Amino acid sequence: MKSKLNLDPKVIDSARSCAGRIAESMQIFIDRHTTVSTERTVLRLLGVDGVDDVDTPLPNVVVDAIKDGGGLPRGAAYWIGNAMIQTGLDPQAIAEKMAAGELDIMKLTMASKEDAEAKILPIVNKALEKIKAQTAKREDYLATIGEGRKPYLYVIVATGNIYEDVVQAQAAARQGADIIAVIRTTAQSLLDYVPYGPTTEGFGGTYATQENFRLMRKALDEVGEEVGRYIRLCNYSSGLCMPEIAAMGAIERLDVMLNDALYGILFRDINMQRTLIDQYFSRVIIGYCGTIFNSGEDNYLTTDDAYEAAHTVLASQFINEQFAVLANIKEEQMGLGHAFEMDPDLENGFLYELAQAIMAREIFPKAPLKYMPPTKYMTGNIFKGHIQDALFNMIAVWSGQSLQLLGMLTEAIHTPHLQDRMLSIENAKYIFNNARAIGEEVEYKQDGIMQKRAQFVLAEAEKLLHEIEAEGLFSTIEKGKFGGVKRPKDGGKGLAGVCVKDDSYFNPFIPFMLGGEK
Partner 1 sequence: MGSHTTHSACETTTVDLTNVKPYGDTMNDGMMQLSFTLPVPYGEEANEAAKILARKMGLDEPAVVFSKDMVGFTYFVLYGKCQHTVDYSTIKVTKVEVDVMDRLECEKYITENIKRPVVIVGACSGTDAHTVGIDAIMNMKGFHEHFGLERYHGIEAVNMGSQVPNEVLIAKAIEVNADAILVSQIVTQKDVHIANLTNLAELMEAEGIRDKVILICGGPRISHELAQELGYDAGFGAHTYAEDVASFILTEIVKRKMV
302 binds partner 1 (CB under 8 A): yes
3-class state of residue 413 by DSSP: coil
- Taking the alpha carbons at both ends of the chain, their separation in whole angstroms is 34
Site string for partner 1, 373-412 (x = CB under 8 A): --xx--xx-------------------------------x
Binding test (CB under 8 A) with partner 1, winner from 117, 225, 305, 460: 305
Are the CB atoms for 335 and 293 separated by under 8 Å?
A: yes
- Catalytic annotation, pick one of 263, 280, 288, 505: 263
The DSSP-derived string for 129-175 is HHHHHHHHHHHHHHHHT--PPSSEEEEEE--S-HHHHHHHHHHHHHH
3-class state of residue 264 by DSSP: helix
CB of 418 to partner 1, least distance (A): 5
d(CA 436, CA 489): 46
- Positive/negative CA dihedral, 259, 265, 270, 274: positive
Segment near partner 1 (CB under 8 A); pick from 58-66, 302-310, 317-325, 364-372:
302-310
Are the CB atoms for 215 and 162 separated by under 8 Å?
A: yes
Are the CB atoms for 277 and 35 separated by under 8 Å?
A: yes
Touching partner 1, residues 435-494 (CB under 8 A): 484-485
Measured CA distances, 260 to 270, 282, 414 (Å): 11, 10, 26
Interhelix angle 76-87/113-144, rounded to 10 degrees, is 110
Based on the number of CB atoms within 10 Å of its own CB, is 292 exposed (0-12), middle (13-18) or buried (19 or more)? buried
Touching partner 1, residues 176-235 (CB under 8 A): 186-187, 189-190, 203-204
Segment near partner 1 (CB under 8 A); pick from 36-44, 51-59, 371-379, 458-466:
371-379
415 binds partner 1 (CB under 8 A): yes
Instruction: Give the binding-site size for partner 1 (rule: CB under 8 A).
Output: 33
346 binds partner 1 (CB under 8 A): no
Segment near partner 1 (CB under 8 A); pick from 45-53, 352-360, 417-425, 472-480:
417-425
Q: Which is nearer to partner 1, 302 or 328 (CB)?
A: 302
Binding test (CB under 8 A) with partner 1, winner from 32, 218, 417, 479: 417
Site string for partner 1, 131-170 (x = CB under 8 A): -----------------------------x----------
Active-site residue, 370 included = yes
- Please state whether beta strands 232-236 and 256-258 pair in parallel, antiparallel, or not at all (unpaired): parallel
Binding test (CB under 8 A) with partner 1, winner from 68, 115, 332, 343: 343
d(CA 454, CA 232): 32
Interhelix angle 76-87/36-45, rounded to 10 degrees, is 40
- Catalytic annotation, pick one of 370, 371, 389, 481: 370
CB of 175 to partner 1, least distance (A): 7
Q: Which is nearer to partner 1, 93 or 190 (CB)?
A: 190
Active-site residue, 384 included = no
CB of 186 to partner 1, least distance (A): 4
d(CA 20, CA 27): 10
Q: Which is nearer to partner 1, 339 or 450 (CB)?
A: 339
- Catalytic annotation, pick one of 49, 165, 278, 298: 298
Could you give the count of Cα atoms lying within 13 Å of 453 in the half-sphere of its Cβ? 23
What sections of 228-371 are H helices per DSSP?
Answer: 242-251, 261-268, 272-289, 300-303, 310-326, 349-363
CB of 302 to partner 1, least distance (A): 6
Q: Which is nearer to partner 1, 268 or 501 (CB)?
A: 268
Binding test (CB under 8 A) with partner 1, winner from 53, 102, 345, 441: 345
CB of 191 to partner 1, least distance (A): 11
- Which residues are the active-site residues? 263, 298, 370
Residue ranges that bind partner 1, judged by CB under 8 A? 160, 171, 174-175, 186-187, 189-190, 203-204, 267-269, 302-305, 343, 345, 375-376, 379-380, 412-415, 417-419, 422, 484-485
